[in-house]
């Protein structure tokens, strides 16, 4: 791995397979770990001057990066941009703060509302980006506001201003969620612990939590039949291409079973969409974010 611009701590050649939960992906053109707003703004200027796209990686879930690499400046928010603090009923977190740490701090302060996040292995900023959710709750229900920074400036935005809807926000490429404020409610610590334990047990019973995946592949389509059940009825559990396999436990997950590539995963995504279209006339929309890969057209 090479180094460039030591003062900015910009890495070259960072393999994204090391920074994604599925364990696939080639090198990033540049990789930085800003630890403050000043460092973030400096990195954004650096990327803009070189004409690089700007993308942010949290824990690397919900992400599939091209095997040939990504022509972008990839940011991982650390330090102050991953810190968490409680202020009354507000929980303030850096965009890089993990959901696990946020939940731990909220529970210790007797604040409820974040319990559902125990099922989401990501960060505060990533949650805002996709309005992440589980078990009937999502970011739009707890978010007070978020600080969004880009090469063009910064500002605080409410859920309505962010356009949060089912697994969606109006954030654009180059936007970085630097800080997040959650509005939570007092709740007995034992109740929080009990709900989290129940949700964790449910997740372990139904999802491949001990396998390398990027999380849910598809958004649930309208109607009562979820994506996972639909693909299971299509006979796709255990279906394999190369080193990637549709999880035998939950058909809306792809596992890295044996040296999978992103191309293997993408081929499975295409096959699953084809089967759902043929069997149910449904065009499944992928939830996973594609980096350096051609976006899937509705009929792909």
Q: Give the DSSP letter of residue 98.
A: B
Is 167 designated active site?
yes
Phi, psi of 93 (to 5 degrees): -140, 145
The order of strands in the sheet holding 244-246 is 240-241, 244-246, 254-256
Place of tokens 């389509």: 221
Give the separation between CA 186 and CA 83, rounded to whole angstroms: 21
Closest CA relative to residue 171, chosen from 182, 185, 179, 161:
161
- Return the residue matching tokens 């090391």: 18
Active site residue 287: yes
Of 167, 249, 273, 275, catalytic: 167
Name the active-site residue from 11, 41, 255, 287: 287
Do residues 214 and 23 make contact, with C-beta atoms less than 8 angstroms apart? no
Name the nearest CA neighbour of 60 among 51, 48, 52, 70: 70
Which of 150, 216, 247, 262 is an active site residue? 216
Does 216 participate in catalysis according to the annotation? Answer: yes
Whole-angstrom distance, CA of residue 167 vs CA of residue 169: 7
Structure tokens at 236: 């796709």
List the catalytic residues. 167, 216, 287
């Amino acid at each position: 791995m090479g180094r460039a611009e030591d003062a900015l701590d910009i890495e070259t050649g960072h393999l994204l397979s090391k920074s994604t939960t599925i364990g696939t992906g080639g090198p990033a053109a540049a990789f930085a770990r800003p630890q403050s707003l000043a460092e973030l703004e400096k990195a954004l200027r650096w990327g803009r001057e070189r004409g690089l796209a700007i993308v942010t990686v949290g824990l690397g879930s919900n992400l599939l990066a091209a095997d040939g690499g990504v022509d972008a400046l990839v940011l991982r928010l650390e330090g102050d941009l991953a810190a968490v603090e409680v202020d009354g009923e507000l929980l303030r977190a850096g965009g890089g703060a993990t959901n696990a740490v946020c939940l731990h701090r909220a529970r210790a302060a007797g604040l409820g509302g974040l319990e559902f996040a125990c099922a989401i292995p990501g960060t505060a900023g990533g949650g805002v980006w996709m309005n992440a959710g589980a078990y009937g709750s999502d970011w739009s229900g707890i978010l007070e506001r978020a600080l969004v920074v880009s090469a063009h400036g910064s500002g605080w935005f409410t859920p309505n201003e962010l356009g949060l809807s089912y697994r969606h926000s109006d954030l654009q490429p180059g936007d970085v969620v630097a800080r997040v404020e959650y509005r939570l409610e007092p709740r007995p610590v034992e109740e929080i612990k009990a709900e989290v334990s129940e949700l964790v047990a449910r997740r372990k019973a139904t999802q491949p939590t001990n396998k390398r995946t990027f999380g849910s592949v598809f958004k649930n389509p309208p109607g009562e039949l979820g994506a996972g059940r639909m693909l299971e009825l299509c006979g796709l559990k255990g279906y394999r291409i190369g080193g990637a396999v549709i999880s035998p436990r939950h058909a809306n997950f792809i596992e890295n079973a044996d040296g999978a590539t992103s191309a293997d995963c993408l081929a499975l995504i295409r096959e699953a969409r084809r089967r759902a279209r043929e069997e149910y006339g449904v065009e499944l929309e992928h939830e996973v974010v594609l980096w350096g890969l051609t976006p899937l057209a509705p009929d792909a």
